[in-house]
Structure 1
Amino acid sequence: MNTSIDPENVKAVLATQFADFDLGPVRIGALWPMLGKGIFTQDGHEWKVTRDMMRPQFNRDQMSDFELEEKHVQNLMRAIDTRLQGDWTEETDLQVLFFRLTMDSATEVLLGQSANTQLLNLPENQSKASGTRIDFAAEFDNALSWVYTRGRFADNYWLVTSKDFRNSCNKCNEYVDYFVQLALDRNSLAKDQDKDDSTATKKRYIYLDALAKETQDPIELRSQCLHLMLAGRDTTASLLGWLFLLFAQNPNQYQKLRNIVIENFGTYENPLKINFTDLKNCRYLQHCLNEALRVYPLVPFSVRQANKDTTLPHGGGKDGKSKVFIPKGPIVEYSVFVMHRRKDIWGDDAEEFRPERWDGSFYLLITDVEKFNGGARICIGQQFALNEAGYVTVRLLQRFDRIRDMATDPVVKHEVKLTVSSANGVKVKLHASTVYPVSCEILFISHFPQLFLENWQFCTTG
């Protein structure tokens, strides 16, 4: 195995020499029982075909549909309201709430119907989250834990399996299959009906409906949705969790960003319209997101496998600055986590959260190649993740003017699956600038009475 924390080597593996490296059979084999065929389990031509089929669906206005996102933000606020004791909340694990929020928004965008995990976990709805129905989030997390364990066994990944793992995979498939069939039925009906463009009304964008126009294979549709469910939920929730953990540890930065948010986007009671351009132009917000991704990258280490004899830019010669030969077959491992803590690149404060470092030339030092495991395989939903994280951050800062760190363990521990989140959670208290009941007019309906989601929780195996 070859290991590197050199930015030029990482850039070569992910971008400039992308064609020389594959995911390799270990990663594909570890993921396959849960996700099936898709962008995270394909190499070469197959991967390109899938990527080309999916990419147009992420160039839609839906990726910046903050009206849809606001609905889930209101559910988040309602969950936080149940923890208010006067002006301050009780100790609250924001990470759990963030994972529920992103699961709800991801399922609504991808499948057309939200899993409503945030609502199901409100005290008044706990009795509804019982019985024999499929707990999709718990099954999804359980399967994901098994997948991570399989990956750690490298070439022996196939030894790590169980009835529990297979059951979780089957239940996830069953949940998504229902919505796949709905999409196929809608697509078939649309083909049979005569269209009158003059009377047609614009329908809400659903990813599965758009993809069903490209392929009618139900297994492929299910697999693509599961792949994107993983990307759409875990990346954004982990980013939000790390960001607010860092804010709790650095309340001055929280207050600085809040002042900028109020100036640019108004108060919670009297908000200005928030759009994609304004979020992108809010420089300190982008600095904070970038710095959170630098300090706690969502994929701290990863591997590729050389599919031919090749080289990497650095590692050879007496000084290590010459090219180094990489034969076909061996694994190349790289750690963005360690690379982001190199003091020769970031300075003596490399381990500190300092968003101001992103002013000026530092924009050039860290790119999407590193932040989103990029290059040709750059996260296809990266802008969706950043949009959602930015919007949720603005809305929370509009409503809560102070944050208090309630962590009891000074050591930050990591929960490693395919992305990394805080194993300690994000335990804080929030101070509301205005205390009043938050409206939430979300219709609580499941069109599939045998399947709906309960509590999100960490699931471990072994």
Structure 2
Amino acid sequence: MELTSWQQIFLIIASFVIARRILPSFRYWRSVVRYGCSPVPWYPHWEPVVGYDLYRKMKAAKEGNRLDSFIAEILSKYGNKKTLMSLIWGLPTLISSDHRLVQVILTTKMDDFVVAPIRKVANEPFFGQDVFVSDGLAWKMNRKFVQPLLRKSRFADLSCLEKHGNRLFMQLPADENTQVDLQRLFTFMYVDVATELVSGCSMNSLVPEGREKAKEFLATLERVNKGVQRRIMLAPVLKFASRDCEFEDACKQVHQHFEDYIDKEISGDTSGQQEGRPTLVRDALCVSQDRSFVRDQLIGFFLPMHSSSVFTLSDLFFQLARAPEVWKALRNEIVAQRGVPLTFELLKSMTFLQAVIRESIRLLAPADRIIRMCLKDCMLPCGGGSSGDDPIYVMKGTLVDFRSSVLHRNKQFWGQDAELFRPERWLEGNIRPKWEYVPFGGGARICPAQQMILTHYAYILSRFVLEFETLENRDPCFEFVAEFNLSKRSRNGVQVALRRDFATCARRGRKTRP
């Protein structure tokens, strides 16, 4: 009997479902029984082929500024409070906030849970072959290349940050009633800092002669960020999506910008550079003469150095503007050191300052998600059963979506006030986090620029505390409204008013913008 066209279509769909769902499911359950594992609770999809129902709910939660609470809710309601299995774009996805799982995945099982299959498709047109998108031997080579560039002598030298910090303070109003968006100013300051660390020549966005060029570069970078974000969202079905010509053009422009730095260094042109100061491009060219490789490594340093630093520093001031008692306590500690140079060692020794920074990135972490793909069938020691303590069997191709933003609000560990910004918790002696606190990831793939970034936060915050008596919120919306790009940032910026410490200004003879 000849099949009709509709019957043929139905047969194809049925065959697809059997191949993608039923056969792997049979193999999974056989392995679970064989190795004595427990199943992970499943999200109750009404559309169990692609998982579009959950994707749509997550998208709505994201747009409604409640994604973290939504993830915590489904973990508690449908999972075992910490772990849940689901489908995202047809891929089996393990959603978890269990610190034991992330510890295993980022350490002993690191080679079995990789990033390249996820990140390469979305990020390779921009990042190329840098450490961010590579695994295995390629990652080890890239990491070996990057680590010497971030030696302590580089981030302990705060002269570059001091110069651009001084320029930022000149942009701040002397009038305490004038509102200013610190997130916008930090964006300019960090593009100057990052370009000077990379090439020795700042973009000078905080002075009139460099402002327009910097705005053009930042606009191009924003198009890249949006394009990468789109590609991440569509990664499993990206090959079916339309070509993004705007993204491709923006990538070419940013690549050319960094290739110009390389050309300038190779030609021996040192105009605009401070004599004797090391640069990343010079150090990189001493290790490799491969222009594309060096360019990719420079971009891999620049983007997190700029974007992550801007938004995490902005988040810190966002929270401080809503906690005047914390600002007052900071002043008590930091003003006591007035007149003493703000060195790396001094900044590390100020306990309340360090507690404030730790607490800020606990609530708004630079790496609020850690995503890996399982490279081969394997067992993990926990995550299964009703308690989440039983071993689980994970099949090749499974995504692991670890939510550190949920882990960092776990009330069982952090206390019933885990949602609150309360730096004192770090000084009370009852909090000793290990893998319960992973704002920069963990294991061998922990952010290599972590110490540099934390030192910068401490320095900039200390300078603000010395310069200003008060930091007042001027945003009518008290809550943090997230806008997602490559980093999570405040959709409303950081709208504040500042009252200067005129004793500091008089002592330094500083001029301020009227």
TM-score (norm 1): 0.84
Whole-angstrom distance in 1 between the partners of 2:206 and 2:379:
49
Which ranges in structure 1 are unaligned for 5 or more consecutive residues? 188-200, 441-462
Aligned twin of 1:382: 450
Aligned twin of 1:180: 262
In structure 2, the CA distance between the partners of 1:24 and 1:42, relative to structure 1 (3 Å rule), is closer
Contact 1:306 1:327 in 2 (8 A): yes
Aligned twin of 2:412: 344
SS in 2 for 1:259: helix
**CA positional deviation for 1:79:** 1.2
SS in 1 for 2:130: coil
Aligned twin of 1:145: 226
Aligned twin of 2:37: none
Aligned twin of 2:174: 84
Contact 1:74 1:438 in 2 (8 A): no
After TM superposition, which residue ranges in structure 1, 4 or more long, deviate above 4 angstroms?
A: 360-363, 366-369
Which ranges in structure 2 are unaligned for 5 or more consecutive residues? 1-92
**Letter in structure 2 aligned against 1:426:** V
User: Map of 1:141-220 to 2, 5 A cutoff?
Assistant: 141-158=222-239, 159=241, 161-186=243-268, 203-220=276-293
SS in 1 for 2:479: coil
1:372 maps to which of 434, 440, 448: 440
RMSD: 2.3
**CA positional deviation for 1:367:** 5.3
Aligned twin of 1:112: 200
In structure 2, the CA distance between the partners of 1:368 and 1:324, relative to structure 1 (3 Å rule), is closer
In structure 2, the CA distance between the partners of 1:118 and 1:134, relative to structure 1 (3 Å rule), is closer
Tell me the percent identity: 27
Whole-angstrom distance in 1 between the partners of 2:144 and 2:308:
22
**Letter in structure 2 aligned against 1:149:** R
**Letter in structure 2 aligned against 1:221:** V
**CA positional deviation for 1:284:** 0.7
Whole-angstrom distance in 2 between the partners of 1:231 and 1:367:
22
Aligned twin of 2:156: 64
Superposed CA deviations along residues 26-64 of structure 1, whole A, max 9, x for unmatched, are: 321111111211011111110100100111121141211
Give the aligned length: 412
Whole-angstrom distance in 1 between the partners of 2:234 and 2:360:
30
User: Map of 1:33-432 to 2, 5 A cutoff?
Assistant: 33-80=125-172, 83-85=173-175, 88=176, 90-120=178-208, 129=212, 135-158=216-239, 159=241, 161-186=243-268, 203-264=276-337, 266=338, 271-359=339-427, 361=429, 364-366=432-434, 370-432=438-500
**CA positional deviation for 1:312:** 2.6
**Letter in structure 2 aligned against 1:22:** V
Whole-angstrom distance in 1 between the partners of 2:218 and 2:98:
37
Whole-angstrom distance in 1 between the partners of 2:430 and 2:219:
40
Is 1:3 the counterpart of 2:95? The answer is yes
**Letter in structure 2 aligned against 1:431:** R
When Rg is computed on C-alpha atoms for both structures, the one with the higher figure is 2
Whole-angstrom distance in 2 between the partners of 1:238 and 1:134:
17
Whole-angstrom distance in 1 between the partners of 2:130 and 2:253:
19
Aligned twin of 2:81: none
**CA positional deviation for 1:368:** 9.4
Contact 1:314 1:320 in 2 (8 A): yes
